[in-house]
Chain A
Amino acid sequence: MLIGPSGGGKTTLLRLLAGLETPDSGIIELDGEQIHFDEEGLLRYRRTVGVVFQAFNLFPHLTALENITLPLEKVQGHKRADAVEAAMALLRRFQLDAHALKKPAALSGGQRQRVAIARAVAIKPRILLFDEPTSALDPEMTAEVLDMIKQLLEEGRDLILVTHEMGFARVVADRVAFLGNGRIIEWGDANTLFGAPVTEQCRRFLSTVLKY
């Protein structure tokens, strides 16, 4: 999990990991494999990671089902029937199958975000990246999306999550990084970082956000 104040670099780090931004300097490795930041390398890389944005970013002209099958068919090269079957299986598992044929405009914010997550999961990515997936949702919908993320974690999927949901981060995260001013200020396992933060900045941040 990545936490920290706004403008601290959390989203930028996530976008770098998603291959949507190129670094000014330095290299990024994922499982010991370096990301190549040329056009071709990025395209290939992006196809192996799943990204979920803050503002859902489903395609409004496609149904929930088509939103999931589009990358499966056109990017991953699955046959149409296989793609539909895989997508329906996912939708069923996350209790979204009743909405398969609805367009995003007909879905609630929580449902939209869950479809977006299903789209990212469908390609069997080696890692899932979430950029504040609940920041645009009301509390009830936030819970439904966090439930889904928790479920994915329990299945043993690797994911990196940028979040302001401190309670959630504390309960489910293995490791937490605190970012500020464009650098990782503190990082360690969740209990240590939340329980006994070492740096002054992290302590102050946590006491501010956990005040209410």
Chain B
Amino acid sequence: MFSLRAFLFEEKNERDKRSAAPARFVSAFVACLLVALVFYFSFRQVTYQWNWSAVYQYRRSLFAGWLMTIAISLAALGLSTLIGIVFALVRRSRFLPLRYFGQLYVELVRGTPLLVQILIFFYVVADAFHVQNRYLVGVLILSFFSGAYISEVVRAGIESVGQSQLESAKAIGLTRTQTYRYVIFPQAIRLTMPPLVGQFVSLIKDSSLLSIIALNEFTQAARDVNSVTYSTLECYIPLALGYLALTLPISLWTRALEQKLRFET
């Protein structure tokens, strides 16, 4: 007899697990249905005058904001990766003031809300250093914020390279720099990739906070449109979907990288 069980439960042994595509499909569908039901029920309860056409008029500015979010995130990703690597090394430095400086930076950034950092850096620090361009300031703040997290990821990657590897490198006469270049980094990168890509997801979402310094990215665009049309949900639902369109593929990519890593080791 055809059992429902076969469609809803994961097989116990490895061989059947891989060949269970229908079960996975059906179960994913059930999960989606459940989420859809919750939202359907909730939205039915509100008495809300939907006004999609008003928001639709502003689709261009929303799209421009979405592109700006991508641009800011990409710029911050590059810069924060660089910052992350530099601070991972700084925190392993044998020159102690430098090491403690690195530690202080990471702890301060990770221990305070991004919102506060943005406000202080934009209105106080950037002002003091006469940096006027808010896009530049925005990218810098986001990079230093994300860089602190990345430095932890990179540091974990570096430290995961075993003591025996360092010993080996030493025994064949590699210098410290060569050891990093030929032994540590190539191995650390593979382990660092999945969490690094995952960090990019956070970065994209965190960039939304830059709207408080009136930087015209996606969230700011949605807020602007909302303030003109008063159609809050019609602005924020596309906003959520716009972020998901960016973060979901990256999330899936992270999963794939993790899988690949597991097979290689």
Q: Which residues of A contact B (CB under 8 A)?
A: 18, 20, 43-44, 46-47, 51, 53, 55, 57-61, 70-71, 74-75, 105, 119, 123
Contact = CB atoms under 8 A, between A and B. Distances in A.
A46 B190 CA distance: 29
B176 to A, nearest CB: 9
Nearest to A60: B187
Nearest to A45: B173
B182 A20 contact: no
A172 B226 CA distance: 87
A59 B174 contact: no
Nearest to A48: B173
Given A70-B182, A74-B178, A74-B182, A59 B165 contact: yes
Nearest to B166: A57
B164 interface: yes
Interface of B: 164-165, 167-168, 170-175, 178, 182-183, 186-187, 190, 265
B171 A75 contact: no
Nearest to A47: B173
B167 A46 contact: no
A58 to B, nearest CB: 8
A70 B175 CA distance: 13
Contact of B173 (A58, A61, A71): A71
Nearest to B170: A20
A-B residue pairs, 7 tightest by C-beta? A47-B173, A57-B168, A71-B172, A51-B171, A46-B173, A75-B173, A61-B186
A154 to B, nearest CB: 25
A119 B172 contact: yes
A59 B183 contact: yes
A18 B167 CA distance: 11
A51 B183 CA distance: 17
Given A59-B183, A61-B186, A53 B167 contact: yes
Contacts of A60: 187
B174 A74 contact: yes
Contacts of B174: 71, 74-75
Contact of A59 (B168, B178, B265): B168
B187 A61 contact: yes
Nearest to B169: A59
Given A59-B183, A70-B182, A43 B164 contact: no
A128 B142 CA distance: 53
Contacts of B190: 61
Contact of B170 (A46, A58, A70, A74): A46
B172 A53 contact: no
Contacts of B186: 61
B264 to A, nearest CB: 8
Given A60-B187, A70-B182, A20 B171 contact: yes
Contacts of A20: 167, 170-171
